[in-house]
Structure 1
């Protein structure tokens, strides 16, 4: 395979963030599942192997899908409020995108190890992500899961009731996509 580029976006898969709740009043809060609805990934290929990739998502594209736990179910207005709180914590006006770029991609059992940088809230940190791949015969399925500590990137997790209930610092990011290639 000569040099090629794969371009993926939300029509090819999902980029999800799940949060936890902590503090003395944690039972009142919801563990959220958030979808980033606008993202794009570009994968550079050379000689049948990926050589680099970049994934960018728009912070203001986040949408609260559901909330688990809490005293009662998460209502529509509460989803809107949770979205607003998350966008504000991430300061989307000042830092409108989150970006992961890998320039070192190595083959590992079941997929690839992507070594690069993650930029959130204007702060860049080194990051390694293991991407699981499956060749479905004409289509590739890709998936990964990574934990991200918000405070590493200068993001203060949302809290209320003077800190008695707050979002756990570490969130889980999961990615799944399929590409015909």
Structure 2
């Protein structure tokens, strides 16, 4: 990766959340693909090989949109999407905590990959979070993380008297193209 400062966001990539259902009534629910539609970040790759890259990202919690729902007895309807988005805003308390933020604290570089440790602030709580990143080509990074919602005080969705639940861990996926400024 070329040394430089890079601005990232919706114009340069995608930030996705995958949720998974569990419980006795799991077959009636949907596994969801959710996209962050308002987010921005900053990546610094220093010219000095002794210095480590830094990453910071900020996402608007009110700008999460359900892109796809798989599984379930019936296809995901527009009404379902709207209800899920209302439920997400309530669970994430977007009125009180409008943003999620990640700031790297350590980066371990390997050939075409890296492990980025950092602090993630969600619902007013900050805890360590790890990202795994791979370099797909000269300018494209792909990354993943598993985020356990309850660690940040988010109670996973539960319906049908607890028979349908979302798994506590959600998967975060991102792809960004870096072009220096």
TM-score after normalising by structure 2: 0.91
- Match of 1:141? 140
Query: What secondary structure sits across from 2:74 in the alignment?
Result: coil
Query: What secondary structure sits across from 2:88 in the alignment?
Result: helix
Distance 1:27 1:80 in 2: 20
Query: What secondary structure sits across from 2:76 in the alignment?
Result: coil
Greater Cα shift, 40-49 or 157-166: 40-49
Q: Deviations over 1:65-106 (max 9, x none)?
A: 010011110011110111111111111111111111103223
Does structure 1 conserve the Cα–Cα contact (< 8 Å) formed by 2:115 and 2:131? yes
TM-score after normalising by structure 1: 0.91
Q: Equivalent of 1:109, from 108, 111, 118?
A: 111
Correspondence 1:126 to 2:125: no
Does structure 1 conserve the Cα–Cα contact (< 8 Å) formed by 2:118 and 2:128? yes
- Match of 1:65? 67
Does structure 1 conserve the Cα–Cα contact (< 8 Å) formed by 2:6 and 2:179? no
Does structure 1 conserve the Cα–Cα contact (< 8 Å) formed by 2:12 and 2:177? yes
Question: Which of the two has greater strand per residue?
Answer: 1
Matched positions, count: 178
- Match of 1:85? 87
Relative to structure 1, is the Cα distance of residues 48 and 179 closer, same or farther in structure 2, using a 3 angstrom cutoff? farther
Distance 2:44 2:30 in 1: 39
- Match of 2:164? 165
Query: What secondary structure sits across from 1:115 in the alignment?
Result: strand
RMSD of aligned alpha carbons = 1.9
Does structure 2 conserve the Cα–Cα contact (< 8 Å) formed by 1:103 and 1:116? yes
Deviation at 1:162, TM superposition (A): 1.3
Deviation at 1:48, TM superposition (A): 5.7
Relative to structure 1, is the Cα distance of residues 179 and 104 closer, same or farther in structure 2, using a 3 angstrom cutoff? same
Unaligned residue ranges in structure 2 (runs of 5+): none
